[in-house]
Structure 1
C-alpha cells in the first residue's frame, strides 16, 4: 500500500540468535527496483573492491523471464534484501509467538533517488528481480526476506554466506527432471528429454549401461552422467537419434532406446576388457571415450541408413574394424602429424574430445566404411 511517499507492507518480524532481526513479507516484484538497488562488484580505483553483486547474466534472466511469462509460474524461493535504518517496523496488536510478531514494514520511496540513495540492497535474487522487471506482465508478487545492515561490509558478508551454501548438484537436478511436467527455464527444458533417456539406460534391465552411469542415486556407477547426456544430446541434435525426433524435440522413445542399447551392447562386446574397467584404467568409459564413441555411433547409423533395422551384428562388425586403432587401456594414440598421446593422457576437455572423436571418425570412414564400399564394388565388378 502506497502512503505519503512510503510503501506499507504486512510483514512478520522474526528474532534469531542474539537479537538479530529478520523481516518476511511479499511485494510486487515490479516495485522492487523502486526501493532496492543492486551493488555490482567493481574496482573503481583499480585496487579495492566496491559493491558485491555479480553482473547480470542475460541468458539466465531471459530463461527466468520466459518462465514468468508462462501460464502458471511459481518462484517459491525468497529474494534477500538488506535494509538501512530508514526502514521501520510497526508491530500490530495481534497475538505473537516467542520469536515472531506481526506488523507492517514502512519503506520510504522517492522517484528521484539514485541507486546509491535507495533504502534497500539486493543480497540474493538479482537475476530473478531483473527477469520480473523485464517480463511482459502487469505484476508478479515475490517473497522477500530482509534484515537491517549497519554497513556495506555486513551486506557483503551476508552475500557470501547466502551464495556459498552448497547448491543442488547438477546430477541430482538432471535425475529429477524426467519426473517433472511443468514448464522449466530453457536450459533445464532442453535437458529433460535426454535425462529421461539416460535414466532408462541406467535402469532398464536390458541396457548394457544398467547401473553403470554414476548419478546422485547411483554413486557406484563409473560412467559420468554428464558424459552420457552430452552423447545423447549430440545425437538428438544432428546424429542417429535425430530421425526419431518429433516436432516438440522429443519423439519415439522406444526406437531411440533400442538404437542406443543395441549400439552400446556392441561396444561392450567388442571392447569387453576396456568396458569392464573404471575410467582411470580405461578411456572407453571415460568422458572423452563415451562422447567420442557417440559420434562413431552416429557415423555407423549414417553408413547403414538403407537398412530397415541396424542389428547388433552390424554394429559389432564395424566396431571390430576399429579395434586396432583404439588405445583405451594402454599404448599411445597416434593422431598423425607427429601428434601422439599416451592412452591415459586424453582428458575430458572439449579440445581432447574433439581430437579423439575426429581421429576415430577418420579411421572409421577410411578403414571401415570406404574399404567395405571398395570391396563391394570389386565383387560387383567381377561378376
Structure 2
C-alpha cells in the first residue's frame, strides 16, 4: 500500500516570507516518489509548459557509475519546488532555533498511487535525480533544499537564477524569459521583449517565420523541419530595439515602461515578408543550403531592416510593395544559395555565423543599399 505522506527532520530558513526554504534529506529511492521533472514543451494551444532542458543520458550514466561504485560522497544536493500543502512543525525546546534556522519535522503529502503525479518539481538536479532513481545504492541520503512555490512562474524564475553558474543553453533561457515576472539580471531582462517577439513570429500564421524557428520546447521530430535559430533572430531584434537608430526603438516608451507591440508586429511582418518574397528560392531552406536562413543572414538582414523600413510608409496599404522595392536595390548582389560574394571574396557557403562575417556582410548590404538609394535620386 503506497505511503500517503513522507516525514523528514528538517531545518526551516525564512529568507522570504512568500517562499519558506527547507533543508532536509531524502533516500535515493525516495526522490522519484517526491519529485518530477517539468520538461519544456508547448501544449496544443501553443502555451509554454515546463522549463527543464532534455535529459543528457551520458551525464546521467556517469553519475550512476559513481553512485554504484562503492564508497560515495555525494554532497551535490537537489533543489525542489514544493507544493503549498507541505507542513512544517517546529521542535520543542530552547535549542529549536539559533536565530537563523528552526529545527522541526517536514511532512510532504504523496500521491495515493505509485504512478500518480509527484507533489514536487525538480528545479536543479534533474540529471542527478535520474541517476538516483536507477542506483543500487537506494538508501543513500541525499541533501535537498526545497522552497514552497505553487506557481510555475516562481519555479521558472528560480530555475533561471540557480542555473546561472552552470550556463543553460541559450535558446532555453531565451524561451523562458517572457514567462517570468522579473529577469534574473539586466542582461537577461534586455532579451525578454525580443524573445517574446520571436515567439510571436513563430506562432503567428501571417508571419513568414511561422513554424520555422527552432525553440527549446520544439518536439524532437519537428525540429528536423525547423531552420532558423531563435537566438540569431532574438539578437537581431534586440539590436533594433536598443539602438536609437533602430527602426523598432521608437515603439518603446522607456519612461512609461510600455511597448507598442502591435506596431512592432506590423514592421516585422512587412519587412520579413518582403525578404521572403524578394528571395523566394532561399527562404525556408536549412542554413546549409541557404545562408539567408542562417545566423549570418538573419543578423545582416536584421541590420538592413533599420535602413529599409525608415523609407516605408507603414500606414500605407502598399507598405509591403514599398519594402520589396527597397530590397530590390540590393537583391542582385546577394548570393544566398550559390555563387560568390565578390566584394567579400567569399563563396556563398563560406559565410559563417561569426562576428567577423556578420559585420562584413552587414556593412556590405547597408553600404550598397545606401549607395543605390543615393544614386537613384
Report the CA distance between 1:372 and its aligned residue. 2.4
Determine the structure 2 residue equivalent to 1:296.
304
Determine the structure 1 residue equivalent to 2:25.
14
Determine the structure 2 residue equivalent to 1:173.
173
Determine the structure 1 residue equivalent to 2:193.
193
| 1:228 lines up with 2:257 in the alignment | no
Report the CA distance between 1:182 and its aligned residue. 3.6
| 1:340 lines up with 2:345 in the alignment | yes
Determine the structure 2 residue equivalent to 1:210.
210
Listed as ranges, the matches of 1:1-383 within 5 Å are 14=25, 16=27, 77=79, 168-182=168-182, 184-218=184-218, 219=223, 220-238=225-243, 239-247=246-254, 250-304=258-312, 308-309=315-316, 311-335=319-343, 339-367=344-372, 369-373=373-377
In 2, Cα distance between equivalents of 1:235 and 1:301: 11
Residues 342 and 12 (structure 1), Cα distance of their counterparts in 2 relative to 1, 3 Å cut = closer
Residues 300 and 77 (structure 1), Cα distance of their counterparts in 2 relative to 1, 3 Å cut = same
Report the CA distance between 1:261 and its aligned residue. 0.4
In 1, Cα distance between equivalents of 2:201 and 2:320: 17
TM-score computed with the length of structure 1 as normaliser = 0.54
Report the CA distance between 1:15 and its aligned residue. 6.6
Choose between structure 1 and 2: higher helix proportion: 1
Larger radius of gyration: 1
- Structure 1 stretch 181-190 or stretch 237-246: which is displaced more? 181-190
Q: Note the aligned Cα RMSD (angstroms).
A: 3.7
Residues 250 and 286 (structure 1), Cα distance of their counterparts in 2 relative to 1, 3 Å cut = farther
In 2, Cα distance between equivalents of 1:12 and 1:272: 58
1:291 and 1:353 in contact (8 A); partners too: yes
Residues 340 and 249 (structure 1), Cα distance of their counterparts in 2 relative to 1, 3 Å cut = farther
Report the CA distance between 1:172 and its aligned residue. 2.4
Determine the structure 2 residue equivalent to 1:4.
none
In 2, Cα distance between equivalents of 1:169 and 1:372: 46
In structure 1, runs of 5+ residues without a counterpart are: 1-8, 19-75, 79-91, 95-102, 107-123, 125-142, 146-161, 374-383
Report the CA distance between 1:304 and its aligned residue. 4.3
Report the CA distance between 1:224 and its aligned residue. 0.3
In 1, Cα distance between equivalents of 2:296 and 2:190: 22
Residues 190 and 105 (structure 1), Cα distance of their counterparts in 2 relative to 1, 3 Å cut = same
Report the CA distance between 1:328 and its aligned residue. 0.4
In structure 2, runs of 5+ residues without a counterpart are: 1-10, 13-21, 30-77, 81-90, 99-123, 125-142, 146-161
Query: Could you say what secondary structure the match of 1:273 adopts?
Result: coil
